[in-house]
Amino acid sequence: DAGVTQSPTHLIKTRGQQVTLRCSPKSGHDTVSWYQQALGQGPQFIFQYYEEEERQRGNFPDRFSGHQFPNYSSELNVNALLLGDSALYLCASSRRGYPYEQYFGPGTRLTVT
């Protein structure tokens, strides 16, 4: 049973560029949440997708957008990259309903120079 997978593992981008990160949820899961984790901090909620729609959003600017596909996989897009966007981006999947157990992927380490 494959767990949550993310690609790429690492990414280096320049300020002002755009980036797309990808996530495939655990088998049987239909909900995907994205988190940003700065070094030494807890994951910060970016947004959540269910049924191909954004259902919840954290305090992140519109530069952060996403998409969910019919197969439940998801993309996180970040436009006009800033140095402060450098972080580990985590995808977590879950099955709609309770108890609400989330399973995290290994993350994508984004470095903006």
Partner 1 sequence: QQPVQSPQAVILREGEDAVINCSSSKALYSVHWYRQKHGEAPVFLMILLKGGEQKGHEKISASFNEKKQQSSLYLTASQLSYSGTYFCGTEGAGYSSASKIIFGSGTRLSIRP
- Nearer to partner 1 by Cβ, of 14 and 59: the residue is 59
- Give least dist CB 12 to partner 1, A: 18
- Which of 72, 69, 109 lies closest to 89 in space, CA to CA? 109
Maximal CA-CA distance, the chain? 41
Kindly indicate which of the ranges 13-21, 43-51, 61-69, 70-78 contains the residues binding partner 1, using the contact rule CB under 8 A: 43-51
Return the residue of 87, 107, 110, 112 that touches partner 1, per CB under 8 A: 107
Side chain identity, residue 60: F
Of 15 and 55, which CB lies nearer to partner 1 in the complex structure? Answer: 55
**17/51 with CB nearer partner 1:** 51
108 Cβ contact list (under 8 Å, min separation 6): 6, 7, 8, 9, 10, 11, 21, 88, 89
CA distance 35 to 38: 10
Is 33 a binder of partner 1 (CB under 8 A)? yes
Q: State yes or no: residue 22 binds partner 1 (CB under 8 A).
A: no
* Partners of residue 34 on adjacent β-strands: 47, 91
Residues that bind partner 1 (CB under 8 A): 4, 31, 33, 35, 40-45, 48, 55-56, 58, 90, 94, 98-107
